[in-house]
């Protein structure tokens, strides 16, 4: 393992910029001198997590590069058409000083109220819009990050399974000289079917809830972010105007100060690694057993109704995970986000080291059963009779505007409000808003008696952040 953290006594007083305690900088940057690599010990992982925690709550300032006067919020590094008229803008950003400005309810890493919604401008080249009109941007509520490392590991294993099925179909097509149509399913989740042809072409037109690359993308309301690293790199530039070197530095832009604020190499790859380590090791949400006997009885019946109403069709209670070894950088990122092929050896964070890992249930094959109440798949959520969730006008990353990734329900009791805009204040509202593929489940809920609806809410209220 090759990396170095400055001694703790220095970390409290000195940043990578040589700052003193009275200087107006966050003091969180540059504590990891080199990119972590190899298998970290428990103590080393704990040190890296502590630095990631500091970075997550750090309030970045213009004195260390916050803001992007000459650059847009674009995922692809893009210069502004016109000079920025202000450092902050709620619509196009920069819109916050710290990650915890939005991910803070009930604690850092949590969700956010409607006040913390952000705006996604599809195309990402025009930074001048100053309206919340859905013709110009999509509004996004803040999701919680607890259990995010487990979610990414599930997505990686599911992707590997789908890719293996695609490869096997191609081999059989070449051997037989005939097209091979196969259902693609991983961890019990069906993603439709593909047809492999003898010439090596794969027809993915019958896939379901996933992109043509068959990569499960577990993050974002639309299921378009492949990793915590990609999410962090995007967010640093978009929300804070802090440009990660791995995307906005000389390798991709030809310049060290892409945003023209006078600060070069603002967020190094090692800083992003610390942020990823903190997010990936956050404790997963839990299911509580209420002390109140009435609530406990209602929740028990509600758990049964959760299945009877059809909620578990998409909000699958648990998905099996083979390994708790989290490698960063990961294997699935594309250009502009550091990936495993860009480094001599990725860092490996063993989630087994963490106390919460001991509480996870395992199946008879020894696999961890991740209780996420989700399927990491996109579904159409609106129809002509129920368009509550269909208020968007812009597709995001070529995902249909009516399709959204299944929201994992673990922690749902602690993360109101709900919906992709965080504009529904109760669980009853968001359940009734389900349409499209979820229409039958929503109808079953609406047609149920008041008591049965109450039992479902009572059950969902047991799914909390620890």
**Within this chain, do residues 396 and 255 fall inside the same structural domain, yes or no?**
no
Which domain, by its residues, includes 172? 148-203
**Within this chain, do residues 120 and 240 fall inside the same structural domain, yes or no?**
yes
**Which residues, given as ranges, of the chain have pLDDT below 50?**
1-18
pLDDT for 161 equals 98
**Within this chain, do residues 53 and 139 fall inside the same structural domain, yes or no?**
yes
Residue 209 lies in a domain: no
Exposed/middle/buried for residue 439 (C-beta within 10 Å: 0-12, 13-18, 19+) = middle
pLDDT for 392 equals 80
Count of structural domains, the chain? 3
Q: Whole-prediction pTM value?
A: 0.94
The CA distance from 183 to 195, in Å, is: 9
pLDDT for 133 equals 77
The CA distance from 170 to 438, in Å, is: 34
Residue 62 lies in a domain: yes
pLDDT for 137 equals 80
The CA distance from 146 to 140, in Å, is: 18
**Within this chain, do residues 432 and 380 fall inside the same structural domain, yes or no?**
yes
Residue 2 lies in a domain: no
Residue 349 lies in a domain: no
Terminal CA-CA length for the chain: 32
Residue 216 lies in a domain: no
């Amino acid at each position: 393992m090759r990396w170095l953290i400055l001694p703790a006594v220095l970390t409290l007083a000195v940043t990578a910029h040589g700052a003193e305690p009275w200087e107006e900088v966050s003091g969180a940057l540059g504590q990891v001198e080199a990119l972590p690599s190899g298998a970290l010990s428990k103590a080393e992982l704990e040190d890296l997590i502590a630095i990631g925690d500091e970075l997550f709550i750090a309030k970045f300032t213009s004195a260390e590069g916050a803001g992007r006067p000459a650059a847009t919020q674009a995922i692809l590094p893009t210069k502004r058409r016109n000079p920025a008229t202000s450092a902050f803008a709620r619509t196009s950003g920069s819109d916050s000083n710290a990650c915890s400005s939005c991910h803070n309810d009930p604690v850092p890493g949590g969700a956010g109220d409607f006040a913390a919604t952000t705006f996604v401008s599809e195309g990402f080249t025009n930074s001048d819009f100053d309206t919340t009109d859905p013709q110009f941007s999509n509004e996004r509520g803040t999701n919680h990050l607890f259990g995010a490392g487990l979610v990414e590991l599930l997505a990686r294993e599911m992707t590997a399974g789908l890719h293996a099925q695609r490869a096997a179909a191609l081999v059989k097509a070449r051997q037989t000289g005939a097209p091979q149509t196969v259902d693609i399913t991983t961890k019990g989740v069906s993603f439709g079917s593909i047809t492999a042809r003898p010439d090596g072409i794969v027809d993915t037109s019958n896939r379901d809830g996933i992109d043509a690359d068959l990569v499960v993308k577990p993050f974002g309301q639309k299921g378009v972010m492949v990793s915590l690293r990609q999410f962090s790199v995007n967010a640093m530039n978009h929300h804070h105007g802090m440009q990660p070197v791995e995307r906005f530095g000389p390798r991709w832009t030809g310049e060290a100060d892409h945003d023209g604020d006078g600060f070069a190499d603002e967020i190094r790859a090692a800083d992003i690694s610390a942020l990823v380590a903190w997010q990936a090791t956050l404790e997963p949400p839990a299911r509580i057993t209420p002390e109140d006997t009435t609530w406990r009885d209602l929740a028990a019946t509600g758990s049964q109704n959760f299945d009877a109403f059809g909620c578990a069709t998409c909000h699958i209670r648990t998905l099996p995970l083979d390994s708790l070894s989290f490698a960063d950088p990961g294997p699935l990122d594309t250009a502009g986000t550091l990936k495993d092929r860009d480094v001599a050896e990725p860092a490996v964070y063993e989630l087994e080291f963490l106390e919460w890992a001991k509480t996870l249930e395992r199946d008879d094959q020894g696999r961890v059963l991740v209780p996420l109440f989700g399927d990491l798949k996109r579904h159409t959520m609106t129809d002509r009779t129920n368009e509550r969730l269909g208020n968007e006008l812009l597709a995001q990353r070529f995902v249909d505007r009516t399709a959204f990734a299944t929201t994992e329900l673990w922690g749902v009791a602690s993360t109101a409000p709900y919906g992709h805009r965080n504009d529904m204040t109760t669980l009853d509202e968001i359940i009734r808003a389900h349409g499209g593929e979820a229409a039958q489940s929503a109808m079953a809920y609406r047609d149920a008696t008041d008591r049965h609806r109450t039992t479902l809410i009572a059950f969902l209220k047991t799914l909390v952040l620890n």
